[in-house]
Structure 1
């Protein structure tokens, strides 16, 4: 049952409400409001706006104001029947119908008595207008000598009645069965909808025609006289549209459904539980557990190895969930920050070992700065053995590659020498001795005479 509103017949207060309820700020004058409403109603029809965004006091005041206008129109119509005034009054009643329905759905009101009074007043005005319409139609029929005019006028007039139950047709429009998709999936979805909306089986059966399209609609028309209850309808639907080997094929899909690379264990277990529920014959707990253990990702193997005696799906889920928590912590671990000028307690900061110091220490300890693997004379004395040189050279190469930033001037790894802001001076790159370059440094490259002595 539809309750169409001709928005251009509404007055300013009603137009303001229709704009606000659609999420925009109302204009100042009626002409601009009508332009706003014309655009907004194309995007947001009245039937799709299910709840009110206003306070109950504001809604109640607006409803009372509009009902007062309707009462004045009806009093005028009792003495002077005017077709345009009848249309405007009926239009206002349809406006009030949608507004009351939104208030009831929102459940924001603690004062149910005030809401009940507004509904009773609305119904009384509907009855009065219907009587006036009958009188007007009867007089028109007599003046036109057409006995069918009265009935035609009543049929064309919007039926004015209200119920506290909101129509389910807009919601059911999202749940359709065409006879080609999975019937078990459809039954599960429509049952979830029925329970969530607290719809009785009898009422759900009355809405059954809105659930089917295409071949399924032809099927429903052929059997609707043979089913008396909602459960009988679902049973017949499953018998006629279910696959013969559904359980066999579904079990094959269950065994091949492994955990995805980006799928956490909670989501995977929920999906598997849904797949298990689609089977006519429920699998034993031990078989479900075996399938899950085989199908979860291999990264959980190290944890499961330490917990070999897993007896339930909940236990397996808890173990895998704990593993994921630990892995997230490891992935998010950060090395301690270095101290800086803004530190309030620099003595507690972690002191990083500079990469250059590691290299120098290794070179000095093993005295391998001038040697490379497999490039020495085996008869030369006072040299480390081959294995030690190879190992030390590998350490030097690794440390050199791993260092990212290092300033030889400041002896710091927070920036490179090209980025250094310190004063440009001559110094040794190896030991930092000022006024000496590395080739001339007396510490790092002693003179040949001193070496010979």
Structure 2
């Protein structure tokens, strides 16, 4: 492992150590210390006679051990969460910090007569090389999918390399000032602002260097004054983003994001696709996005409860797999509800034409049926609804008005008084039950003992087969 590092990747205490072993003990601001160290490293590259002055560094074994342990634990946690390739910023930071801590352990002065100090130095150095191996294995694992795809082409027919046609596109590059994106310093808008800037830059083919060079056009108001003050201490776009989060976000902003992630559950009417997109956006807002296993565990825990039992029988390793499974469950749920709705319409419902010409499925005895009945009755009055007759001159269809009139006559001629046993909770004015002769419900929902009456016209004492109503003429 090469003993090289980039000073921008070192933490504050690590930077102070690198300065101290070179004889620089100062209380200057962090950005000035970084500039000093950068200059010292340049001089060391040009002249091998410049040696690190360990004699000027105040050494204490216990203090040094505590600092080393803290750095090793921090690097180990980052490696466990790392998923990516060598172009990722986190990978570069890990390599720099590993180079730093390896050099620090190697320089660690110990008393060879104290076995504990000798053992600690040897084991700590071995831990550094082991963590570097873990990081390398993480890289190898992330490339498995790509390698598998490449190898699959090797078993197929030979590929003839045909030069692709040259296509020249001429498009006007839109200046950043015309993007319509400005940050004024509002902490509530910071994450949305950064997300949009990154996506706009990607869509327009701008890299981070171009974005950083034109960053002044992204600020306005007090935020622009802030940028003028800090820009001399920044080297790239990642530094700018980190500085913005440090200066504009409230304390413990990272903890607040984690609290939101853990408590964010899938909404009752929210699809799994939209829910996972929201969660991914929250993960990206963290300074160190969690590992895939952590994302999967959180999302799987917070999907709708009705999907839990179905997902329990599947071994899922990626969020994308979970989304596909839940999407299939959602589709099955939709088809089930759709078929049930059709079944209710065909078995219990009737079709009435609403005032705008839309056929509405109505279940007898429901408030929806009552409402449709009223609308239907009113529409018939306006449209001059009439009975239709067949070729023999007999009517084969009765209007809803005629049915209500027949019910009213039957009720007035009924000699038997019944005590109502059903009181509806809905608004069903205008309906009269042909079974108990009481209003506000239909015979389908009547709870009184069933009497004999015609199911076509409501006449009591006869059945539909023996009734001489218009339906049997």
TM-score, length of structure 1 as denominator length: 0.38
Of the two, which has the highest radius of gyration? 1
TM-score, length of structure 2 as denominator length: 0.37
